[in-house]
Amino acid sequence: MASSSEAGPAALLKAVLERVHHSADRSGRDVNNIRVVAASKTKSVSSLRQVYDAGHRCFGENYVQEIIEKAPQLPEDIEWHFIGNLQSNKVKPLLAGVPNLAYVETVDDEKIANLLERAVAKIGRKPLKVFVEVNTSGETSKFGVEPAVCVDLAKHIVTNCPNLEFCGLMTIGMPDYSSTPENFKTLSNCRSEVCAALGISEAQCELSMGMTGDFERAIEMGSTTVRIGTAIFGRREYPPKEDK
């Protein structure tokens, strides 16, 4: 019998979806309210294709150069999520290169929101769904707004960016998972503030949190979007390239 390290992405996906199911059951949540983004950075188009052929439609990429190379080689019904740090000069190529881009999960200042707004308006595509990225771990190296200003940014998007659809909040948390429960709690508290300020229900403000090492915990804590790479595709062999 093949060991799990030899299992291909389709089998690994199945195991991940089972774990998501169990976590949802354990926490009394409807599994249909939990989206799994297959985080595919550095992985080949053929690996993504195997996951697609296993029935999965939701993929996340971190680098503009990489997503604009891969997306045209894969079916159009993929729901692409951009989950990396987005630089100003990459907004136009991203939107032009990925017509089926559904979400940008990493909006972390008004400037990038305004650039996305203008680019979407100019292309004339359907509204782009966005999450506000929150730095919940307090690390200076992390992208994302401070929790205290997430309300301001969410308000800015709702008020001034008609071509963007504010969908919720996203966080990465501590990379070694040492304090992700606290980080997830912080994101959940941010949601309460945003919902109160915007007069929306919690169901209208998603939480994107949880990766390979902590997605079960994230689901218990209310995550609606888990972004899972390693558990589906195996370890990343090459260090990801930065967008230049």
Is residue 62 a contact point for ligand PLP (CB under 6 A)? yes
User: What is the spatial distance between Cα 26 and Cα 166, in angstroms, rounded to a whole number?
Assistant: 29
Which residues, in sequence order, are CB contacts of 142 under 8 Å at separation 6+?
A: 135, 172
Q: How far is the CB of 226 from ligand PLP (least distance, A)?
A: 8
Q: How far is the CB of 1 from ligand PLP (least distance, A)?
A: 25
> Using CB under 6 A, which of 17, 20, 38, 41 touches ligand PLP?
41
Which amino acid belongs to residue 24? A
- Rule CB under 6 A: which of 74-93 touch ligand PLP? 83
Is residue 9 a contact point for ligand PLP (CB under 6 A)? no
Which listed range, 43-51, 70-78, 114-122, 225-233, lies at the site for ligand PLP (CB under 6 A)? Answer: 225-233
Which amino acid belongs to residue 115? L
Which listed range, 50-58, 137-145, 151-159, 226-234, lies at the site for ligand PLP (CB under 6 A)? Answer: 226-234
Is residue 120 a contact point for ligand PLP (CB under 6 A)? no
Neighbour-count burial for 5-16, b at 16+ CB within 10 Å, e otherwise: eeeebbebbeeb
User: What is the spatial distance between Cα 15 and Cα 215, in angstroms, rounded to a whole number?
Assistant: 13
Residue 169's nearest CA partner among 216, 135, 199 is 135
Q: Please report, as ranges, the residues that interact with ligand PLP according to CB under 6 A.
A: 39, 41, 62, 83, 172, 211-213, 227-231
